[in-house]
């Protein structure tokens, strides 16, 4: 890897540091902007390098590039890269879907998948892709006449009716889906008009040796060598509109797709990320931040470390268990590692203290202001409220991460449903019918379940919960444990005598149940735990937590409003809420530990050098090694190698996975897939000096498709520029 010292001078020249009292704001890059509000950012974006009119990114006529950005599934982003509905997203965004299409015979994780023509593209039942066509500010219509200080409950009552009615009106008028969402903690409302396509097919998926290369070890880390992409295609009915799957559907036709620029970029170049960031909390108080930092995150990390250890042991020992758990594991491990980075970043950068300093300044402004009488008391109210719930929050987190981390316990919800059906049944034949339906719905669980693995999770997580939850333990738990001589192993063996460990046992039970058999379920040990914990939470925990959340929603809404109105030194952007945003920054390396730091870019030679056949995460596929040995890079060669990934100072979050990364002209130069560890705290506190998003270089994507996957036919439908001086 080349080292760089360039970044430090770039930071100095591109950032404008503004100091006002205790406020220290870096204006350059923080922010995730709503597309229709970009006009107000235009001057700044142009200054930083934007080379196209804002209207090309979004316009009310409906011809903007927003039409080429999609919400992929329920929590990722994708981009349209051809007139035939070809979607590029991350490998990890397609992972769950591909697991559903994989089997021992078709192991797409080991071998990859490449359709060689349209007819080979694989339907992905349940997967959807949503286009955002238009957004309008409807704040006045939602909040008209409502006093800011009205309680959350009273306010919600009025607002929810207005939202429903207005959504209905927009739906009828536009013929599209309409959803109204709150921004700025409920101080603003926007309607989002969208179309959701539901016939989506798998087109290309590199094997894990490329797509998850580096695995959990490298996850959230820089430097990075993961070819984290996959490709899908949107299919539409005859009218080019959303339709259920049919073999007669046609690829979705569009004139709004991204031009790909394979000509590269340099450090300092302007970049944008267009996508769906999920959740940020940039404006919370130091009290709430402290809860996340010192209670919530540490519990999650502690419990997940144990769960992941148990899973990994079994996954390493059996390919069957690996296939069952790989997607689940990726999800659980992803949060686990992110929160570690978050805690570390918050600690090393004294973020709680920085918030406290900000609060002092805010308090000064509040006291001197007489337009917002409520502002003076906000912070002290937040302090009192948060202090009062720390114990309960902590217990609840242990329940969610430890008790519900034992899969058989939440799965016992299925027995609960059956019990309810028995209570309301009026004939045994009808009951049988209902029970079979319930059992069928639950059968998906068993495709990805291994009871022996779950038993190890039980003996590891139960002691953690019992010992650390401040005595918030349901009687049934204590009773079962005592009846087994306080031995967790014996208790575990007893619980896993449940019918739930095995689909056949569950079905056998279903076929034997009559209306009079409630006891058979009530005697099931896993059901007993499930039932006990649900009831316990309902009585002892949820009311307190719900009240706290309500109080906090109220205070945070007013606090947001007061910061917005009183702090004139800051430009406020709304926290992420899984709606379409654009963020901009620069290609920029980072040096977290010393003067000689990381380059802004990685390449294939570094990936090959990391090859380790003994470690699954670092096993480079043979064919990639061969291509590298022969330097068979085709048009994607740059400086005698192929770039893999690069970092930039765009403010992104979870949900931005798969987002298009654009150059100053709005052309695609990469696909966002991660952030660096030092900067994962950016969901709570963005620091331009530390926070970087990680993107896959589009040249590596194209190289893998063409040279590794042999799927060069796909390149013909793309519009690729920047190759003027390259031979094929």
The item of ligand ARG, ligand GLU, none sharing an interface with residue 330, based on CB under 5 to 8 Å by kind, is ligand ARG
Q: Which stretch binds ligand ARG (CB under 6 A): 105-113, 139-147, 213-221, 578-586?
A: 213-221
Cα atoms in the 13 Å half-sphere on the side-chain side of 252: 30
Which tokens go with 11?
């930071």
Binding mask 315-354 for ligand ARG (x = CB under 6 A): ---------------x--xx--------------------
Task: Give the distance, in angstroms, between the CA of residue 39 and the centroid of all CA atoms in the same chain.
Answer: 28
Q: Which stretch binds ligand ARG (CB under 6 A): 40-48, 212-220, 374-382, 474-482?
A: 212-220
Q: Judged by CB, which is closer to ligand GLU: 286, or 334?
A: 334
Name the residue among 421, 426, 423, 458 with its Cα closest to residue 441.
421
The item of ligand ARG, ligand GLU, none sharing an interface with residue 215, based on CB under 5 to 8 Å by kind, is ligand ARG
Residues 258-317 that bind ligand ARG (CB under 6 A): none
Q: Judged by CB, which is closer to ligand ARG: 228, or 282?
A: 228
The item of ligand GLU, ligand ARG, none sharing an interface with residue 31, based on CB under 5 to 8 Å by kind, is none
- Alpha-carbon separation of residue 229 from 332, 642, 674, 701, 711 (angstroms): 20, 16, 12, 7, 14
Which of 307, 675, 699, 707 is close enough to bind ligand GLU by CB under 6 A?
Answer: 675
Helix (H, G, I), strand (E, B) or coil at 184: helix
Please name the helix (run of DSSP H) or strand (run of DSSP E) that holds residue 483, with its range, or none: helix 475-483
Residues annotated as part of the active site = 92, 228, 657
Bridge-partner residues for 641, per DSSP? 638
Binding mask 52-81 for ligand GLU (x = CB under 6 A): ------------------------x-----
Smallest distance from ligand ARG to CB 198, Å = 24
DSSP output for 584-639: EEEB--B-SSSSS-B-SEEEHHHHHHT--TTSGGG---HHHHHHHHTT--GGG-BT
Cα atoms in the 13 Å half-sphere on the side-chain side of 435: 28
Q: Which stretch binds ligand GLU (CB under 6 A): 22-30, 122-130, 579-587, 667-675?
A: 667-675
Distance CA 345, CA 285 (A): 17
Distance CA 698, CA 261 (A): 8
The item of ligand ARG, ligand GLU, none sharing an interface with residue 219, based on CB under 5 to 8 Å by kind, is ligand ARG
Structural contact between residues 313 and 306, judged by C-beta atoms closer than 8 angstroms: no
DSSP output for 321-337: HHHHHHHHHHHHHHHHH
218 touches ligand GLU (CB under 6 A): no
Residue 242 CB partners (closer than 8 Å, separation 6+)? 195, 196, 197, 198, 199, 236
Smallest distance from ligand ARG to CB 400, Å = 20
Q: Quick one: CA dihedral 65, 66, 72, 73, positive or negative?
A: negative
Smallest distance from ligand GLU to CB 76, Å = 6
Name the residue among 308, 561, 586, 340 with its Cα closest to residue 453.
308
**Rg of the chain over all Cα atoms, to the nearest angstrom:** 27
Q: Judged by CB, which is closer to ligand GLU: 197, or 677?
A: 677
The item of ligand ARG, ligand GLU, none sharing an interface with residue 190, based on CB under 5 to 8 Å by kind, is none
Which of 206, 474, 654, 666 is close enough to bind ligand ARG by CB under 6 A?
Answer: 654
657 touches ligand GLU (CB under 6 A): yes
Q: Which stretch binds ligand GLU (CB under 6 A): 1-9, 138-146, 321-329, 651-659?
A: 651-659
Binding mask 217-256 for ligand ARG (x = CB under 6 A): --xx------------------------------------
Q: Quick one: CA dihedral 122, 123, 127, 132, positive or negative?
A: positive
Smallest distance from ligand GLU to CB 682, Å = 8
Distance CA 99, CA 453 (A): 19
Angle at which helices 378-398 and 451-468 cross, to 10°: 130
The item of ligand ARG, ligand GLU, none sharing an interface with residue 655, based on CB under 5 to 8 Å by kind, is ligand GLU
With CB under 6 A, what is the number of residues at the site for ligand GLU? 10
Q: Judged by CB, which is closer to ligand ARG: 6, or 330?
A: 330
Which tokens go with 310?
């148990």
Smallest distance from ligand ARG to CB 337, Å = 7
Q: Which stretch binds ligand GLU (CB under 6 A): 403-411, 522-530, 599-607, 673-681?
A: 673-681
678 touches ligand GLU (CB under 6 A): no
659 touches ligand ARG (CB under 6 A): no
Distance CA 485, CA 490 (A): 8
Residues 18, 19, 24, 29, Cα dihedral to 10°: 0
The item of ligand GLU, ligand ARG, none sharing an interface with residue 333, based on CB under 5 to 8 Å by kind, is ligand ARG
Name the residue among 65, 299, 268, 193 with its Cα closest to residue 579.
193
656 touches ligand GLU (CB under 6 A): yes
Q: Which stretch binds ligand GLU (CB under 6 A): 156-164, 399-407, 654-662, 696-704?
A: 654-662
670 touches ligand GLU (CB under 6 A): no
The item of ligand GLU, ligand ARG, none sharing an interface with residue 652, based on CB under 5 to 8 Å by kind, is ligand GLU
Distance CA 103, CA 113 (A): 13
Smallest distance from ligand ARG to CB 370, Å = 45
The item of ligand ARG, ligand GLU, none sharing an interface with residue 656, based on CB under 5 to 8 Å by kind, is ligand GLU
DSSP output for 273-325: EEE------TT--HHHHHHIIIIIHHHHHHHHHHHHHHHHHHHHH-HHHHHHH
Which of 674, 678, 697, 706 is close enough to bind ligand GLU by CB under 6 A?
Answer: 674
Helix (H, G, I), strand (E, B) or coil at 216: helix
The item of ligand ARG, ligand GLU, none sharing an interface with residue 653, based on CB under 5 to 8 Å by kind, is ligand GLU
92 touches ligand ARG (CB under 6 A): yes
Please name the helix (run of DSSP H) or strand (run of DSSP E) that holds residue 181, with its range, or none: strand 177-183
652 touches ligand ARG (CB under 6 A): no
Smallest distance from ligand ARG to CB 676, Å = 10
Which tokens go with 652?
């992104």
Q: Quick one: CA dihedral 480, 481, 484, 490, positive or negative?
A: positive
655 touches ligand GLU (CB under 6 A): yes
274 touches ligand GLU (CB under 6 A): no
269 touches ligand GLU (CB under 6 A): no
226 touches ligand GLU (CB under 6 A): no
The item of ligand GLU, ligand ARG, none sharing an interface with residue 220, based on CB under 5 to 8 Å by kind, is ligand ARG
The item of ligand GLU, ligand ARG, none sharing an interface with residue 216, based on CB under 5 to 8 Å by kind, is ligand ARG
Residue 596 CB partners (closer than 8 Å, separation 6+)? 3, 5
Distance CA 441, CA 445 (A): 9
Binding site for ligand ARG (CB under 6 A): 92, 212, 215-216, 219-220, 330, 333-334, 654, 657, 673-674
Binding site for ligand GLU (CB under 6 A): 76, 652-657, 673-675
């Amino acid at each position: 890897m080349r080292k760089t010292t360039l970044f430090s001078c770039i930071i100095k020249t591109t950032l404008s540091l503004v100091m006002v009292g205790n406020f220290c704001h870096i204006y350059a890059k923080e922010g995730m902007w709503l597309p229709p509000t970009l006009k107000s950012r235009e001057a700044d974006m142009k200054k930083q390098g934007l080379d196209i009119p804002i209207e090309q990114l979004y316009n009310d006529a409906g011809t903007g590039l927003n039409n080429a950005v999609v919400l992929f599934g329920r929590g990722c982003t994708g981009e349209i890269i051809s007139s035939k509905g070809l979607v590029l997203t991350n490998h990890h965004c397609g992972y769950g879907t591909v697991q559903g299409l994989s089997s021992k015979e078709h192991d797409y994780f080991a071998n990859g998948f490449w359709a060689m023509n349209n007819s080979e593209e694989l339907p992905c039942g349940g997967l959807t892709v949503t286009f955002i066509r238009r957004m309008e500010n409807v704040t006045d219509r939602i909040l008209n006449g409502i006093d800011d200080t009205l309680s959350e409950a009273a306010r919600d009552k009025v607002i929810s009716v207005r939202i429903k009615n207005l959504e209905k009106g927009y739906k009828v008028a536009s013929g599209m889906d309409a959803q109204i969402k709150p921004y700025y903690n409920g101080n603003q409302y926007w309607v989002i008009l969208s179309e959701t396509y539901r016939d989506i097919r798998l087109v290309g998926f590199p094997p894990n040796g490329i797509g998850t290369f580096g695995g959990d070890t490298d996850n959230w880390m820089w430097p990075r060598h993961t070819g984290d992409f996959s490709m899908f295609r949107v299919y539409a009915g005859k009218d080019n509109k959303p339709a259920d799957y049919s073999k007669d559907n046609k690829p979705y036709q569009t004139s709004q797709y991204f031009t790909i620029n394979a000509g590269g970029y340099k450090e300092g170049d302007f970049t944008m990320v267009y996508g769906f960031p999920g959740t940020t909390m940039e404006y919370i108080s130091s009290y709430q931040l402290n809860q996340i930092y010192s209670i919530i995150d540490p519990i999650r990390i502690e419990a997940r470390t144990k769960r992941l250890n148990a899973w990994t042991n079994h996954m390493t020992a059996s390919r069957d268990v690996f296939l069952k758990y790989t997607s689940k594991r990726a999800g659980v491990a992803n949060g686990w590692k992110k929160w570690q980075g978050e805690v570390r970043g918050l600690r090393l950068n004294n973020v709680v203290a920085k918030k406290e300093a900000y609060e002092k300044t805010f308090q000064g402004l509040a006291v001197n202001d007489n337009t917002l009488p409520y502002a003076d008391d906000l912070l002290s109210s937040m302090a009192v409220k948060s202090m009062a719930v720390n114990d309960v929050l902590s217990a609840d987190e242990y329940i969610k991460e430890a008790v519900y981390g034992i899969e058989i316990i939440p799965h016992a919800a299925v027995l609960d449903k059956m019990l309810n059906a028995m209570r309301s049944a009026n004939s045994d034949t009808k009951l049988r019918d209902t029970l079979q339906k319930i059992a069928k719905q639950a059968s998906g669980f068993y495709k990805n379940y291994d009871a022996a693995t779950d038993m190890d999770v039980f003996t590891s997580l139960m002691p953690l919960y019992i010992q650390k939850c401040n005595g918030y333990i349901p009687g049934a738990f204590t009773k079962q444990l005592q009846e087994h001589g306080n031995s967790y192993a014996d208790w575990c063996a007893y619980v896993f005598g449940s019918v739930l460990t095995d689909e056949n046992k569950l079905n056998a039970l279903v076929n034997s149940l009559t209306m009079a058999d409630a006891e058979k379920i009530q005697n099931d040990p896993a059901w007993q735990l499930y039932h006990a914990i649900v009831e316990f939470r309902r009585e002892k925990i949820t009311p307190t937590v719900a009240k706290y959340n309500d109080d906090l929603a109220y205070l945070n809404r007013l606090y947001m409003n007061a910061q917005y109105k009183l702090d004139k030194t800051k430009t406020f952007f709304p926290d992420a809420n899984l709606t379409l945003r654009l963020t901009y920054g620069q290609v920029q390396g980072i040096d977290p530990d010393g003067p000689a730091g990381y380059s802004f870019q990685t390449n294939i030679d570094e990936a090959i050098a990391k090859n380790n056949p003994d470690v699954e995460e670092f096993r480079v596929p043979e064919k990639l090694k061969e291509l590298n040995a022969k330097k068979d890079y085709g048009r994607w060669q740059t400086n005698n190698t192929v770039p893999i990934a690069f970092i930039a100072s765009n403010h992104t979050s979870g949900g931005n996975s798969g987002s298009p990364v654009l150059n100053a002209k709005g052309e695609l130069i990469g696909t966002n897939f991660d952030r660096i560890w030092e900067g994962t705290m950016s969901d709570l506190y963005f620091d331009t000096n530390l926070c970087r998003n990680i993107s896959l270089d589009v040249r590596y994507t194209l190289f893998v498709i063409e040279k590794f996957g042999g799927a060069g036919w796909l390149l013909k439908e793309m519009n690729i520029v920047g190759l003027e001086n390259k031979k094929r």
